[in-house]
């Protein structure tokens, strides 16, 4: 596996593949890799000749008081996992390689960035959209693989790619879960053993709400409130639990058929997000 730190070296390495007609899949990450990331890599390997992974803890997507400094950085373990997964190239830029001090441009995807996590983390999705746009311009892959776990992030990136005519295919990959249903996340490492057991209730509650809708529940406010009560009783501080339309994340109406249930809730110091996407 090649390990490259600068944009110019990365471009040279990728040009050699491009010139010989090879396709490139790109998996952007912030490191602290787990089975969810490795699932993205394994699907990337199936779909393209070459796989590029980036590890960059992007400062612009963390708000004041969030965990940018504390975010787990496990570079050596991550490198080993990517070697074992036969990744072709790891891009490990420094902040100065990605952001010029006098940069003037940021990307904001209106609408889909504003509610849910966007309302609780002002500026977060602008930071995500800007860094993903920059990484796409740097790598210029044929496809980018993103996890369904971050459903709102995925929607923001889809809209950005559509609106800016970025020539890349987006491949959404299923969430990988612990045996108790807890979605894999780098932030699960913040949970105590006791909290990990309680955290399983997040997915159970999503499944319960989905099943209620599939069984005919039409009052989505009642579905949301019931889920909220269950999560609060389990010990969560809930930011939101929302029944949304899958295509644009607007509040779902009873006639909508592609639905996503979005949840974010704090357990102790850890903020967890999860979702279920389904057709009615
Ligand atoms: O999902 C993540 O890990 C990050 O938000 C991403 C897409 C790598 C951008 O920094």
Closest CA to ligand 1's atom 3: 29
> Would you say 157 and 129 are in contact if contact means Cβ atoms under 8 Å apart?
yes
Q: Among 67, 62, 131, which Cα is nearest to 103's?
A: 131
Contacts by 119-126, CB closer than 8 A, 24 or more apart: 119/240, 120/239, 120/240, 120/264, 121/63, 121/66, 122/63, 123/60, 123/61, 123/63, 124/61, 124/62, 124/63, 125/61, 125/152, 125/153, 125/156, 126/60
Q: Report the pLDDT value the prediction gives residue 246, as an integer from 0 to 100.
A: 97
> What stretch(es) of the chain map to CATH 3.40.50.620?
2-173
Q: Is the pTM of this model over 0.95?
A: yes
Ligand 1 centroid to 219 CA: how many Å?
34
Q: Report the pLDDT value the prediction gives residue 138, as an integer from 0 to 100.
A: 98
Q: Report the pLDDT value the prediction gives residue 163, as an integer from 0 to 100.
A: 98
Residue 52 burial (CB < 10 Å; 0-12/13-18/19+)? buried
Closest CA to ligand 1's atom 6: 29
Which residues of the chain are modeled with pLDDT < 70?
Answer: none
Q: Among 111, 138, 144, which Cα is nearest to 125's?
A: 111
Query: CATH says 186-279 is which class?
Result: alpha beta
The catalytically annotated residue of 14, 25, 28, 37 is 37
Q: 124 an active-site residue?
A: no
> What stretch(es) of the chain map to CATH 3.30.1300.10?
186-279
Report the atom number in ligand 1 closest to the C-alpha of 132.
Answer: 9
Supply φ then ψ for residue 17, to 5 degrees: -65, -45
Q: Is the CB of 270 under 6 A from ligand 1?
A: no
Q: Report the pLDDT value the prediction gives residue 238, as an integer from 0 to 100.
A: 98
Ligand 1 centroid to 213 CA: how many Å?
31
Query: How many CB atoms within 10 Å of residue 94?
Result: 10
Q: Is the CB of 48 under 6 A from ligand 1?
A: no
Ligand 1 centroid to 129 CA: how many Å?
9
Q: Report the pLDDT value the prediction gives residue 61, as an integer from 0 to 100.
A: 98
Q: Report the pLDDT value the prediction gives residue 269, as an integer from 0 to 100.
A: 93
Q: Is the CB of 58 under 6 A from ligand 1?
A: yes
Does the structural domain 2-173 have CATH classification 3.40.718.10?
A: no
Q: Is the CB of 29 under 6 A from ligand 1?
A: yes
Q: Report the pLDDT value the prediction gives residue 198, as an integer from 0 to 100.
A: 97
Closest CA to ligand 1's atom 1: 29
Q: Report the pLDDT value the prediction gives residue 111, as an integer from 0 to 100.
A: 97
Ligand 1 centroid to 194 CA: how many Å?
28
């Amino acid at each position: 596996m090649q390990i490259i730190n600068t944009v110019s070296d990365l471009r040279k390495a990728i040009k050699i593949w491009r010139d010989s007609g090879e396709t490139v899949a790109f998996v952007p990450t912030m490191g602290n890799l787990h089975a969810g990331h490795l699932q993205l890599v394994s699907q990337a390997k199936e779909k393209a000749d070459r796989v590029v992974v980036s590890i960059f803890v992007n400062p612009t997507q963390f708000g004041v008081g969030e965990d940018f400094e504390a975010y787990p950085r496990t570079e050596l373990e991550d490198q080993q996992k990517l070697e074992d997964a036969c990744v072709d190239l790891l891009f490990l830029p420094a902040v100065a390689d990605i952001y010029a001090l006098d940069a003037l441009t940021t990307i904001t995807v209106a609408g889909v960035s504003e509610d849910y996590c966007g309302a609780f983390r002002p500026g977060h999705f602008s930071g995500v959209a800007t860094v993903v746009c920059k990484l796409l311009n740097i790598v210029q892959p044929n496809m980018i693989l993103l996890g369904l776990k971050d459903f709102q992030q995925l929607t923001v990136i889809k809209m950005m790619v559509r609106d800016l005519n970025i020539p890349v295919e987006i491949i959404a990959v299923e969430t990988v879960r612990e045996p108790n249903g807890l979605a894999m996340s780098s932030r699960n490492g913040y949970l105590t053993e006791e909290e990990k057991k309680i955290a399983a209730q997040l997915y159970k509650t999503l499944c319960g709400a989905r099943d209620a809708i599939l069984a005919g529940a039409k009052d989505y406010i009642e579905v949301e409130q019931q889920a909220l009560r269950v999560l609060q009783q389990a010990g969560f501080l809930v930011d939101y639990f929302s029944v949304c339309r899958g295509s644009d994340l607007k509040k779902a109406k009873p006639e909508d058929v592609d639905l996503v249930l979005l949840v974010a809730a704090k357990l102790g110091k850890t903020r967890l997000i999860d979702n279920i996407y389904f057709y009615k």
